[in-house]
Amino acid sequence: MPRLATGNVYERRGKWFARLTIGTKKRQSFMLETCKDERSAVARQAILAELAAKLRTRRHRAGHHQARRGA
């Protein structure tokens, strides 16, 4: 089962970003356009991390299901 996607936030040139693992050894940064401070960025990052974890789990399950079918 995939590892829990937690990610982190950082600020660059006045803009907040979330960095999340979206696949095996693949991390990507997403600009959080509506976030103006660290508190709101952390809250948004937590939502994105939860979504990423759900997508990775579903992808993992789909791959396991296809492997069992011989696809």
- Taking only the tens of pLDDT, the chain with its 71 residues reads 555 667 899 999 999 999 998 877 788 999 999 999 999 999 999 999 999 888 878 766 666 555 555 55
pLDDT of residue 21: 85
Question: What phi, psi does 4 have (nearest 5°)?
Answer: -65, 125
Question: What phi, psi does 14 have (nearest 5°)?
Answer: 80, 0
Pick from 19, 30, 22: nearest CA to 3? 22
Domain ranges of the chain: 8-69
Distance CA 52, CA 13 (A): 26
For residue 30, what are the β-bridge partners? 18
